[in-house]
Amino acid sequence: METKRKIYIFDTTLRDGEQCPGASLTPSEKLEIARQLERLNVDIIEAGFPAASMGEIEAIQQISKALKRPVICGLARMVEQDIDAVRQALKYAKKKRLHVFLATSKIHREYKLKKNQSEILKLSVEKIRYGKRFFDDIEFSPEDASRTERDFLVEVIGAAIDAGATTVNIPDTVGYALPNEFGDLIQFLVRKLPALGSEVNLSVHCHNDLGLAVANSLAAVRNGANQVECTVNGIGERAGNAALEEIVMAIDTRQDETGFRDSFTEICAEEIIKSSRLVSRLTGMVVQPNKAIVGRNAFSHESGIHQDGILKLRQTYEIIDPKRIGLSGSQLILGKHSGRHAFRERLEKLNFHLSPKETDAVFERFKRLADQKKYVFDRDIETIVEEQMSRIPETWQLVYLKTSSETGEKPKATIRLKQKKKVYEASSSGDGPVDACYKAIEKIVKMNVKLVDYAIQSATSGKDAVGEVNVKLEMGGQEVQGRGTSTDVIEASVKAYLFALNKICAQFGKVKRAPV
């Protein structure tokens, strides 16, 4: 009987994904994503780079305490202090892995490290042996492997295995490789080092600078790799990493193809959409509408020809059943006349399991939205639930909002905010109604924050669509994201700003309003 080959999914959303500009996460947000990754059933979670800060160590410790099933991994340079930081971060982990890396390509050796081949070999062996004193599971990455001379790559990998590495990762660090040459490289390494992919796990870590991260990763799997490093939504430095959802569903969907017929992952595909939306919401990295698998248009059909085909046989225009990845598979149209019973049923179909009190709160928001627009769609409901269920305490609550604009005059805004039992009011003018609102809020809260980013998009379809606003505020050198939704984009903008302010208050402790 033919044995199926497991492909291990190594998720680095919380490490490489978080390193992309603007995606910084608080410890509680990292833990929330880690819990979802456990539900997604990834095999290894690279929880961070412990040497970066004590806050990073503490965040990884929280994850290590909370999660039991996946291997928790920490990244380190070939420096003893980094390895010691990983030891501290993973001291509570039930299953732990040390991931060490050192650049091996000629350009990195000469210009970044100022080291020759013999020095790279010596350093790799010394630090892997040092790590072996504390870790049974060690992964070694020769950074920029795809641009490293092949003979030297074989030499350094062989030395790393002899020193105790249990996984060898081949990174295409700058996304330079093409699928045929990257697949050939993996095949070459397996031929030269037969332990790879059998006694020692063979991993790949591909970046998307040429848009080939997923293609290169799949080429590697076809040629012997049994671990893929990837991120949810493909987020990561520069153009990002290989997208987890695309890797998993390509292997799952193309079992007819020779290279994947004997391969499988243990990912719980039904959790893909939830994972994608959670990562997008907490990092502020918006998923493009036409993104494969998780984009909002991936399973949408507007063309009459397509709709006719789908109604006759779904497979005419859909190669993946949307229910397979956690979508409902159908569009629900609800309106203001819909009752509580129908609403509860729809929540269950969307896989939201809320308490009676939570359901009541979400239902009230649904009814208010239904009064504003003709139809309420699945994505509307998901947006309401996501926003309502945020765990950030509301230090500042919106009580009243009024804006006015006229030709030749600056827009004006009046805002009332509630803090505890006291209500504050301020008015201001600005370059636009949103700017006027933000200036009025600043007058009330008197916090030294800076708006560094503002983005608006339609969260749902139609002329009465829900607008989604994402803002980024900076305070004390730290950035936080805020998100707000409403059929009124000005109200959505105010909600997003207040959400970010409340996150700052929660993150920095209670921030008292400065005296007037």
pLDDT tens digits along 198-254:
999 999 999 999 999 999 999 999 999 999 999 999 999 999 999 999 999 999 999
**Tens digit of each residue's pLDDT (9 = 90 or more) over 352-389:** 888 888 888 888 888 887 787 666 777 777 777 877 76
Q: What is the rounded distance in angstroms from the CA atom of residue 134 to the CA atom of residue 195?
A: 23
Across 2-6, 77-81, 375-379, 420-424, least confident range: 375-379
Q: What is the CA radius of gyration of the chain?
A: 25
Contact 135, 96 (CB under 8 A): yes
**Tens digit of each residue's pLDDT (9 = 90 or more) over 433-481:** 999 999 999 999 998 899 999 999 876 666 667 788 989 998 887 888 8
Length of the chain, please? 516
Contact 43, 8 (CB under 8 A): yes
Average pLDDT, the chain: 89
- Mapped to the 3 state alphabet, what secondary structure does 253-265 carry? HCCCCHHHCCEEC
Q: Look at residue 162 and give its three-state secondary structure.
A: helix
- b vs e for 298-327, b when ≥16 Cβ sit within 10 Å of the residue's Cβ? bbeeeeeeeeebbeeeeeeebebebeebbb
Q: Is residue 295's pLDDT more than 80?
A: yes
Across 283-292, 340-349, 487-496, least confident range: 340-349
Contact 456, 468 (CB under 8 A): yes
Neighbours of 353 (CB within 10 A): 8
Q: Which residue has the higher pLDDT, 30 or 514?
A: 30
Task: Read off the pLDDT band of 304 (50, 70, 90).
Answer: very low
pTM of the model: 0.73
Q: Which residue has the higher pLDDT, 219 or 392?
A: 219
Residue type, 295: G
Per-residue tokens: 231: 């991120």
Residues 6+ apart with CB under 8 A from 391: 28
Q: What is the rounded distance in angstroms from the CA atom of residue 120 to the CA atom of residue 263?
A: 35
Contact 185, 170 (CB under 8 A): yes
One DSSP character per residue, 426-479 reads: EEEE-SSHHHHHHHHHHHHH----EEEEEEEEESS-STTPPEEEEEEEEETTEE
**Tens digit of each residue's pLDDT (9 = 90 or more) over 17-55:** 998 887 889 999 999 999 999 999 999 999 999 999 999
Q: Look at residue 416 and give its three-state secondary structure.
A: strand
Task: Establish whether domains 8-283 and 397-508 are of one fold.
Answer: no
Burial class (CB in 10 A: 0-12, 13-18, 19+), 510: exposed
Q: What is the rounded distance in angstroms from the CA atom of residue 152 to the CA atom of residue 104?
A: 8
Q: State residue 305's pLDDT score.
A: 56
Q: What is the rounded distance in angstroms from the CA atom of residue 166 to the CA atom of residue 381?
A: 46
CATH superfamily assigned to domain 397-508: Alpha-isopropylmalate synthase LeuA, regulatory domain (3.30.160.270)
Q: Is residue 511's pLDDT more than 60?
A: no
Q: State residue 509's pLDDT score.
A: 60
Domain boundaries, the chain: 8-283, 299-327, 331-389, 397-508
Q: What is the rounded distance in angstroms from the CA atom of residue 415 to the CA atom of residue 413?
A: 7
The 8-class DSSP code of residue 187 comes to H
**Tens digit of each residue's pLDDT (9 = 90 or more) over 109-159:** 999 999 999 999 999 999 999 999 999 999 999 999 999 999 999 999 999
Q: Is residue 306's pLDDT more than 60?
A: no
In 3D space, the residue among 206, 199, 116, 100 whose CA is nearest the CA of residue 152 turns out to be 116
Q: State residue 337's pLDDT score.
A: 63
Task: Read off the pLDDT band of 331 (50, 70, 90).
Answer: very low
Q: State residue 92's pLDDT score.
A: 98
Give mean pLDDT, residues 292-299: 86
In 3D space, the residue among 6, 10, 18, 2 whose CA is nearest the CA of residue 59 turns out to be 18
Q: What is the rounded distance in angstroms from the CA atom of residue 354 to the CA atom of residue 361?
A: 10
Whole-number Cα distances in Å, 127 to 102, 117, 377, 432: 10, 16, 55, 57
Q: State residue 299's pLDDT score.
A: 75
Contact 442, 424 (CB under 8 A): no
The 8-class DSSP code of residue 114 comes to -
Q: Are strands 467-475 and 478-486 parallel, antiparallel or unpaired?
A: antiparallel
Count CA atoms within 13 Å of residue 313 on its CB side.
Answer: 3
Give mean pLDDT, residues 503-513: 66
Q: Is residue 258's pLDDT more than 90?
A: no
Whole-number Cα distances in Å, 461 to 252, 331, 376, 426: 31, 12, 10, 34
Q: State residue 382's pLDDT score.
A: 77
Contact 347, 385 (CB under 8 A): yes
Residues 6+ apart with CB under 8 A from 257: none
Q: Rounded to 5 degrees, what angle do the CA atoms 458, 461, 463 make?
A: 90
In 3D space, the residue among 52, 36, 167 whose CA is nearest the CA of residue 101 turns out to be 167
In 3D space, the residue among 203, 290, 287, 214 whose CA is nearest the CA of residue 247 turns out to be 214
Task: Read off the pLDDT band of 184 (50, 70, 90).
Answer: very high
In 3D space, the residue among 433, 441, 436, 435 whose CA is nearest the CA of residue 498 turns out to be 441
- b vs e for 139-166, b when ≥16 Cβ sit within 10 Å of the residue's Cβ? bbbbbbbbbbeeebbbbbbbbbbebbbb
Q: Which residue has the higher pLDDT, 258 or 510?
A: 258
Q: What's the CATH architecture for 8-283?
A: Alpha-Beta Barrel (3.20)
Q: What is the rounded distance in angstroms from the CA atom of residue 410 to the CA atom of residue 413?
A: 10
Q: Look at residue 103 and give its three-state secondary structure.
A: strand
User: Percentage of residues in the chain with pLDDT exceeding 90?
Assistant: 67
Q: Which residue has the higher pLDDT, 85 or 338?
A: 85
